[in-house]
Amino acid sequence: MWFKSLRADIAAAKKNDPAARNKFEIFLTYSGVHALSHHRFANRLYRMHLKLLARIVSQCSKFFTGIEIHPAAKIHPGVFIDHGSGVVIGETAEIYPGVVIYQGATLGGTGKEHGKRHPTLMQNVTVSAGAKILGGFTVGEGAKIGAGAVVLKEVPPHATVVGVPGRVVRIRGEKVCEPDLCQDKTDPYQNYRKEICHLRTRMCELEKKLEALSGGGNGGDTGT
């Protein structure tokens, strides 16, 4: 079972990294593959109720790879962590095959609540560098999370999310502008933009009125 999972992880790295020359090189040098391999061992210990030993394995893996994965996290075979430095994956996170995670990404929680508090990433999700996905919701199949985005709510399948807080800008390559797909409807920057647009419109109206009054005054002087 362990060997089968390792083969799937190596195949995912070969598929998603154009710099990968061969599977042997991936096995020897890719920290993401090493971290996943260590995690599967730690997860097995955790399920055997050897939780302290599992955490020790997890922390040793973090020291050598720069990737921190809680032993209880559920990661299916065929996941690729590219570069990986700074990646953090929380206890109740679940990651399905085909997911690609880049350096600095966090699959975390938003507080000290119990139960499901870390995200679930469905198949073929891409999490770009520095993205933060926080909460116990689902990121739909084929979704793409932009670099540096902060995602706080559920993401539809095949959506593209960017920004802080994250907002859905495309679904299946098509632009969207529905307010219900915004990650945070109280985005202050959005409110500022609306206020500025309103002020510009009002200013244009006042300028037109001034021009009309000036034109009327000149016309009266000429007649006199």
- pTM value is 0.73
Distance, in Å, from the CA atom of 167 to the CA atom of 159, rounded to the nearest integer, reads 10
Helix axis angle, 31-47 relative to 51-65, nearest 10°?
170
* Confidence at residue 178, expressed as pLDDT on a 0 to 100 scale: 52
Distance, in Å, from the CA atom of 26 to the CA atom of 16, rounded to the nearest integer, reads 12
For the chain, the residue count is: 224
CA atoms within 13 A on the CB side of 150: 6
Residue from 71, 96, 75 nearest 33 by CA: 75
* Residue burial 82-91, b: 16+ Cβ < 10 Å; e: rest: bbbeebbbbb
Distance, in Å, from the CA atom of 43 to the CA atom of 157, rounded to the nearest integer, reads 28
* Confidence at residue 171, expressed as pLDDT on a 0 to 100 scale: 83
Q: Is the pLDDT of residue 152 over 50?
A: yes
Residue 80 identity: F
Q: What mean pLDDT comes out for the span 116-120?
A: 90
pLDDT range class, residue 210, cuts 50, 70, 90: confident
Q: State the burial class of residue 129 (Cβ atoms within 10 Å of its Cβ: 0-12, 13-18, 19+).
A: middle
